[in-house]
Amino acid sequence: MNRTLAITSGKGGVGKTNIGLNLSLHLSRKGYRTCLFDADFGLANINILLGLQPEYDLRDVILKGMKLNDIIIPTFNGVHVLPGSSGLEEMANLQDSQVETLVRSLSEMEGYDFTVFDTAAGISKNVITLCLSSPEVIIVITPEPTSLTDSFTLLKVLLLNGFKGEVKIIVNQCNSNNTANLVYKKFHSAVKKFLGMNIKALGLIYQDKNVVEAVKQQRPFLLEYPTSKASRCICAIGDRIINNTPVDTLESKGMAGFWKRCLRLMNSPLQIPGANKEDKKRDDTKKYNQEHKEKNADQKKPEHEQAYEETPVKKETVKKETVSSRHESYIPSLETLNQNLKALGMEIRELKDAVKEMGGGLYSRTGEKEESDPKGINHKPIILDIEAFLKKKGLTKNGDTV
């Protein structure tokens, strides 16, 4: 038997690391070989809870060719801790030969009955990748509204990216059984109604001052306070996990399959709510520029396209441009439009300054009338013809402003 559990949450500070550590201890005490993978790369809270200072981590396996056994730390009651650090991020930049070597090394985890991943909170790519790769995802929620909304968002992102595993919910920091039931029913109803996902209740954990004391002592509360309310809840949750093996709906089995899925997902784009429109704009812009470049490889690029691609434009090139070289279907970016407006404003200011320096007044558009300054000196009028100005700048076509 080899089961992979990804313990995560939408919001930080809900106690998922403490749950992952003590759950791993319970599984180990039941006789199951258990590995706890510290995948919270930003904080590494498992090290703090156990008072550990790992000398090596997953990054050393990836970049220095170390063996998995060289970095795994044996801890209390037979639980092994695998420090992740920033190793998962390094996986996104591996060559094919490195990928095969890494997968073979990580396949050594096949000897464990349970591999528990303590992920970070939120919807970062690391979190989503581990959850999508795992057949079982455990989400920790609390009665706080922000915990429920953030966990809902997490499930939405998983669903958008084709999640096929099983989701189980732990309600933590409850003051009563009724509170836990109400929180879970509210969350389950929202997920079922708006996402159409099936989630299952795994259990609850009561508020317990012994948990805080154990953290201060850097000891698991299951070992330090084995008869506490929180410890009894953890044991009940662990027994349910042992007695209920889910159907693995993922395409490949074992740790080798898990890590292959991870590596594939790390190199694939993720669907994130709210970010997709901006990503699509960038992709469309990149696609347009590439197609236009190939189509007009032998032609000199117009000014507006050079500005759009952020390429320096020489004044000689601008002067030689003609309106006929523009594409009617092209829509300039806001940045280009802003640059044109600034240039227009500068030209108008220059004209006004010229009028002021020559002592002239306001002249008619046709220039038929000449005026003199207070000293009686006549000047040739400066014609402020905006249409002629736009035409000179190449901003009109067939008499229409473009």
Q: Are residues 203 and 80 in the same domain?
A: yes
Mean pLDDT of 33-50: 76
pLDDT digits (tens, 9 = 90+) for 76-88: 778 999 887 655 5
Q: Which DSSP letter does residue 58 get?
A: H
Does any domain span residue 281?
A: no
Domain for residue 288, yes or no? no
Q: Higher model confidence: residue 288 or residue 269? A: 269
Do 234 and 367 belong together in one domain? no
Could you tell me if 19 and 112 lie in one domain?
yes
User: Is 210 a residue whose pLDDT tops 60?
Assistant: yes
Q: Are residues 185 and 53 in the same domain?
A: yes
Q: Specify whether 124 is located in the same domain as 27.
A: yes
Please check whether residues 110 and 212 belong to one and the same domain: yes
Buried-state track 348-379, b at ≥16 Cβ within 10 A, e below 16: eeeeeeebeeeebeebeeeeeeeeeeeeeeee
Domain with residue 191: its CATH number is: 3.40.50.300
Domain of residue 327, residue span? 301-401
* Residues 71, 170 within the same domain: yes
Is residue 89 located within the same domain as residue 132? yes
Short-list 248, 357, 336, 318, CA closest to 2: 248
Which of 8, 11, 31, 3 is closest to 20 using CA atoms?
8
In a domain, 116, yes or no: yes
DSSP code, position 372 = B
At residue 267, the pLDDT reads: 79
Most confident of 125-129, 253-257, 269-273: 125-129
Residues 226, 331, single domain; the answer is no
283 located within any domain? no
Domain shared by 242 and 321, yes or no: no
What is the average per-residue pLDDT within 90-108? 71
The count of structural domains within the chain is 2
Residue 198: strand, helix, or coil: coil
Q: Are 136 and 27 in contact (CB under 8 A)?
A: no
Using one digit for the tens of pLDDT, what is the confidence trace for 275-327? 545 555 555 665 666 666 655 555 554 444 444 344 344 444 444 444 444 44
Q: What percent of the chain has pLDDT over 90?
A: 38
Same domain, 31 and 89: yes
Stretch among 37-41, 108-112, 158-162, 192-196 having the lowest mean pLDDT:
37-41
142 or 339: which carries more pLDDT confidence? 142
